[in-house]
Structure 1
Amino acid sequence: MKEQSQRINEIIDVCLLAGDIMLKSGAETYRVEDTMTRIAAAFDDRASQCFVMPTGIIFSIDGTDPTKLIRVSERSTDLQKVADVNHVSRKISSGELSLKEAYLQLKAIEKAELTYSIWQRILSASIASGCFLIMFKGGWFDFLPACVAGGLGFAGLVYFHRLIQLKFFAEFLASLIIGVLAVGLTHFGLGHEMDKIIIGSVMPLVPGLLITNAIRDLMAGHLVSGLSKGAEAFLTAFAIGMGIAFAFAL
C-alpha cells in the first residue's frame, strides 16, 4: 500500500512538472490538461482530474491520494519546450519511457536554456520591425528608422521587465521609447512616415500568442483561462497604446 501511494505521488509529480513547463512556456490551457491526463493514463489506469489556470495547476488521481497544487507566477514564450514535453508525452504513451526516465527527461527540459540570447532577440525584433513597416506599405527610406526604434523599444522592454516586475509598466515604457524615437527621427528628417514607423516598431510588442491562446481556450470551453488571457492581452495592448499616446502628448 505504501509503495502504491509512493508511485501515485511520483506520477502526480511527473504530470505537474510537465504541466508546469508547458504553462510557463506559453502552451494553451487545454493542451496542458490533455498532456497531463495522457501521462497519468499511461502510468495508472485510474481516472485523473486536473484544473489548469494561467496562474496555477491543480491535479489529482481518483482515490484516497491527496490533491496537489502548484503556482505559476512567471510565463514566457518558448514553444520549443512545449514541443519537447509533447514528444516526451508521446514516448510515455507508447511505453518507451519509465516513470523515472520521464521525470529525468522533463527535468532536463525544465533546466535547458532553449531561448535565444537577449542580443539575438533584440536583433530579431529590430529586423522584424523594418519588415513589418514594409508589409504595411511603408517606404524603404523608413526601414532603418523602424529597425532602430523597434530594436531599442524591445531592448527597453527586456530591461524594464527585469527592473519592474509589472508587465504593464514595462510595455508602457517600451512603447513610449518607440513613440519618442519615431517622433524624433521624423522631426530631424531621418524618417518620412511617422505612423508607419510606429506601427512597424510596436509589432514585436503585440501579444499575438496571448490572443491566439485566449481564442483557442475559449473555443475549447476553458472560459476562465480564455477570459484571463484575453484580459492580459487587452492590458498589453492598452499599455502599448498609452505609451504611444503619451509620446505624442510630450
Structure 2
Amino acid sequence: MQHTDQIQALSEFLLEYATTLMGAGVHTNRAVRNISRIASAYGYSADMTIFQRNITMSLICKDDETLRRTSVRKLKPLAFNLNLIQQLSELSWLPVDNNVSIAEMEQAFRSMVRTKRFSRWTDLLLVSVGNAAFCRLFNGDLWAMLTVFAATMLGFLAKQQLTRLKYNPLGVIILSAFTASMAAACAVLFQIGSTPQIALAASVLFLVPGVQMINSIMDLMHGHILMGISRGIHSIMMIACIAIGLSATMLIVGVNSL
C-alpha cells in the first residue's frame, strides 16, 4: 500500500511539474530529462509522450515492474518565463542531491510557482523599449524609435487586454499587429523622421514567436518530431497572423512596400 501511495503522489506531482515546465516555454528534451531525473531519484522510470496540448506519462517501479501508473494531463497555456524554467530545472536535482520526500518537493514547487512575475506595466515598458531597440538595429532614426516605442505600447496593451478577455490567441495576434502597425503608420502618413517605413516594419516585431521557433528546431534535433512539427506549424500560423494585421494597415494607409 505504501508503494501504491508513493507512485500515485509522485505521478500527480510530476504531471503538475511537467505541465508547468512546458507551459513556461521549455523545449521538450529538457522537460524529459528533468522528469526522468526526479522519477529515477525515487526508484521509478518515466516514459512520456508530450504533445502541444497534453502529456501522457507512465511511471514504472524499477524493483517491481508490475507496479506502474499511467496518467494524462492537459498542458497549461502559461507565459514564457525563463526564471521559472531555471528554478524548476534546479528543483529536479533536489531529490538526487538531498534525498528529500515527495511532500518536500511539492512544497518547494509551490513556492516557486507562487513567485511573482514582473507587473504587466513593467512588461509593457520593457517590451516597448526592446522593440524600439530592434528598430535601431534596422537603422531606424530617433523618430522611428520613438514611433515604435509608442506603437508597441499600444499593440502590447491591446494584446494584454484581449488575452485577459480570453479571445482566440491567433485573433489576438492579428488585432495586436493591426493596432501596433496602425499607430506606427502615422509616421508614414505625416512623414515623421527620415525612416518611417522602418518604424512601420519594426512595430510588430514584439509579436514574432522566437522562443516557439527555437523550441521547434531543438525538438526536431532531439528526435521529438511530432512536438517539433506542431510547434513549427503553430509558429508559422502566428507569423501569418502578424502578416495579416500588418497587411491590413498597409492596405488602409496605402503603403505599397516597406
Query: Same fold by TM (over 0.5)?
Result: yes
Distance in 1 between the 2:179 and 2:77 partners?
25
Once the two structures are TM-superposed, the CA of residue 73 in structure 1 deviates from its matched residue by: 4.5
- Answer yes or no: is 1:215 the counterpart of 2:214: no
Partner of 2:255: none
Equivalent residue letter for 1:26: G
CA RMSD of aligned residues (A): 1.5
Q: Which consecutive residues of structure 2, in runs of 5 or more, have no partner in the other structure?
A: 61-65, 253-258
Once the two structures are TM-superposed, the CA of residue 191 in structure 1 deviates from its matched residue by: 4.1
SS in structure 2 of the partner of residue 66 of structure 1: strand
Partner of 2:256: none
Once the two structures are TM-superposed, the CA of residue 34 in structure 1 deviates from its matched residue by: 1.2
Once the two structures are TM-superposed, the CA of residue 19 in structure 1 deviates from its matched residue by: 0.8
SS in structure 1 of the partner of residue 47 of structure 2: strand
- What count of residue pairs does the alignment treat as equivalent? 247
Distance in 1 between the 2:126 and 2:94 partners?
34
Partner of 2:15: 16
SS in structure 2 of the partner of residue 67 of structure 1: strand
Q: What is the 5 A alignment of 1:43-122?
A: 43-44=42-43, 46-62=44-60, 63-113=66-116, 115-122=117-124
> Which residue of 194, 198, 201 maps to 1:199?
201
SS in structure 1 of the partner of residue 107 of structure 2: helix
Deviations 1:129-182 (CA, angstroms, capped at 9, x unpaired): 211111011112322111111111111111122224311111100110122112
Q: 1:12 to 1:157 in 2, by over 3 A?
A: same
Distance in 2 between the 1:195 and 1:225 partners?
37
Distance in 1 between the 2:204 and 2:232 partners?
19
Once the two structures are TM-superposed, the CA of residue 17 in structure 1 deviates from its matched residue by: 2.0
User: Kindly, what percent of the aligned residue pairs are identical?
Assistant: 21
Contact (CA 8 Å) 2:181, 2:204: kept in 1 or not? no
SS in structure 2 of the partner of residue 94 of structure 1: helix
- Answer yes or no: is 1:146 the counterpart of 2:148: yes
Once the two structures are TM-superposed, the CA of residue 249 in structure 1 deviates from its matched residue by: 1.4
Q: Which consecutive residues of structure 1, in runs of 5 or more, have no partner in the other structure?
A: none
> Which residue of 161, 176, 179 maps to 1:177?
179
TM-score with structure 1 length normalisation? 0.93
Partner of 2:234: 232
Distance in 2 between the 1:160 and 1:11 partners?
37
Once the two structures are TM-superposed, the CA of residue 88 in structure 1 deviates from its matched residue by: 0.9
